[in-house]
Amino acid sequence: MAPEIAPQPVHGAAVQDLRLTLENPLVLQSGVTLSPVTLAYQTYGALNAERSNCVLVCHALTGDQYVAGTHPVSGKRGWWDDLVGPGKVIDTNRFFVVCANVLGGCMGSTGPKEVDPATGQPWGLHFPVITIRDMVQAQAKLIDHLGVDKLFCVIGGSMGAMQVLEWANRHPERVFAAVPIAGSYRHSAQNIAFHEVGRQAIMADPEWAHGNYLEEGRTPKRGLAVARMAAHITYLSEVALHRKFGRRLQDREALTYGFDADFQVESYLRHQGYTFVDRFDANSYLYITRAMDYFDLAQENDGVLSQAFTGTPVRYCLISFSSDWLFPTEESRAIVRALNAVAANVSFVEVESDKGHDAFLLDEPEFHQTLQGFIDGTAEIRGLPGRAKGARP
């Protein structure tokens, strides 16, 4: 496959913000044509001469392209800095790692907070509803642009796992290995319900102004914070919440008989909610949650999930976490069964963890070891160099 756009210089450690504006409009799954489309992305490591060592990382609902190193906005470590970097599991000394802010996002890629050139105003609710497939087709253009025909690996957790499945399903010839982590082939009724609560919380905020808050100089902070709080509970396990907070009080000796945050868990949730609004756009939250709700790889294949994988050459590794109740192991197992039904190359590990869905973002040794094993083994088959001796972990 010829690159649509000539390759640009390959970047090393993330020190600059990269942008690609597609030459052609994007025809979305809805049929709507979107133009112009810009993807904000980061790369880590270098593409090898064979262009065979590219790892595409797909981020989750509120993630972004700053996978490793220091996040330029928050000043914190990238969301997968535990995994991605020199000598790490996704070793940037060996792999050329790419991550793009998803279409519809709010970290530089085209999304509802960006300006619609046709009106000179932020897109707001005039932005078309996008899908996981649309995110992936935009990423495919970026991969073209980078001069990569075939990805060594596509990897991601949660919504990232949906993109991984979409990649492997739509572009099996361009994916050597696929690692969907803590994901599903379709969003469950319960998950749609939680997303709907979040959306309703945002839209209930008068500051949302029917989606026009940017034009009106307003911010639906409270609605977005409530949405984040509700979602955040689903990212943790009951056990994790109990261990972290239990019924411990926050900076006080006794109950205050009021509505302040008496309990640590309340204080923590409020903090999660109110720091989130500083880094995320409310309309993006609507669009991205909608994209997840719409994802259903079985439905797209006449209700038979295995049809999505017939004849796939992709090597799969699925990983779930035992205490994840948002994307429970059963969801991954359904994918594994479908892959087995078409004799695909698949390995599957349910990692024992009490940290809930969030475990895919955390330093979970069994998870990291599983991933290390799969990546090293698959790299060898792909003819990529092995890990340097003494490298972590």
Q: Kindly state the smallest distance separating residue 167's Cβ from a second copy, in Å.
A: 21
Which of 71, 324, 358, 368 is catalytic? The answer is 324
Binding status of residue 188 toward a second copy by CB under 8 A:
yes
Binding status of residue 127 toward a second copy by CB under 8 A:
no
Helix/strand/coil (H, E, C) string of the chain? CCCCCCCCCCCCCCCCCEEEECCCCEECCCCCEECCCEEEEEEECCCCCCCCCEEEEECCCCCCCCCCCECCCCCCECCCCCCEECCCCEECCCCEEEEECCCCCCCCCCCCCCEECCCCEECHHHCCCCCHHHHHHHHHHHHHHCCCCCEEEEEEECHHHHHHHHHHHHCHHHEEEEEEECCCCECCHHHHHHHHHHHHHHHHCHHHHHHCCCCCCCCCHHHHHHHHHHHHHHHCCHHHHHHHCCCCECCCCCCCCCCCCCEHHHHHHHHHHHHHHHHCCHHHHHHHHHHHHHCECCHHHCCCHHHHHCCCCCEEEEEEECCCCCCCHHHHHHHHHHHHHCCCEEEEEEECCCCHHHHHHCCCHHHHHHHHHHHHHHHHHHCCCCCCCCCCC
Q: Kindly state the smallest distance separating residue 242's Cβ from a second copy, in Å.
A: 5
Binding status of residue 141 toward a second copy by CB under 8 A:
no
Query: Is 324 a residue of the active site?
Result: yes
C-alpha distance across the termini of the chain, in Å: 36
CA distance 285 to 77: 22
Query: Is 109 a residue of the active site?
Result: no
Each residue 342-361 as x (binds a second copy by CB under 8 A) or -, in order, gives --------------------
* Contacts of a second copy in 255-274 (CB under 8 A): 255, 257-259, 261-263, 265-266, 269-270, 273
Q: Kindly state the smallest distance separating residue 183's Cβ from a second copy, in Å.
A: 16
Q: Which is nearer to a second copy, 75 or 257 (CB)?
A: 257
Binding status of residue 105 toward a second copy by CB under 8 A:
no
Which of 158, 184, 320, 323 is catalytic? The answer is 158
Which of 59, 171, 357, 368 is catalytic? The answer is 357
Binding status of residue 126 toward a second copy by CB under 8 A:
no
Binding status of residue 173 toward a second copy by CB under 8 A:
no
In the set 226, 292, 317, 351, which binds a second copy (CB under 8 A)?
226
Instruction: Let me know how long the chain is.
Output: 393
Binding status of residue 233 toward a second copy by CB under 8 A:
yes
In the set 5, 46, 209, 230, which binds a second copy (CB under 8 A)?
230
In the set 4, 87, 271, 325, which binds a second copy (CB under 8 A)?
325
| Amino acid code (one letter) for 174 | R
Q: Which is nearer to a second copy, 73 or 304 (CB)?
A: 304
Query: Is 158 a residue of the active site?
Result: yes
Q: Kindly state the smallest distance separating residue 16's Cβ from a second copy, in Å.
A: 35
Q: Kindly state the smallest distance separating residue 28's Cβ from a second copy, in Å.
A: 8
Q: Which is nearer to a second copy, 294 or 367 (CB)?
A: 294
Of 305, 57, 48, whose CA–CA distance to 179 is shortest?
57
- Contact, 35 vs 26, CB < 8 A? yes
Each residue 279-298 as x (binds a second copy by CB under 8 A) or -, in order, gives -------x---x--xx-x--
Binding status of residue 186 toward a second copy by CB under 8 A:
yes
- Contact, 105 vs 121, CB < 8 A? no
In the set 41, 96, 167, 245, which binds a second copy (CB under 8 A)?
245
The residues carrying an active-site annotation are: 158, 324, 357
Residues that bind a second copy (CB under 8 A): 30, 32, 125, 128-129, 186-190, 192-194, 196-197, 199-201, 203-206, 222-223, 225-226, 229-230, 233, 236, 238, 241-242, 244-247, 255, 257-259, 261-263, 265-266, 269-270, 273, 286, 290, 293-294, 296, 299, 325, 328
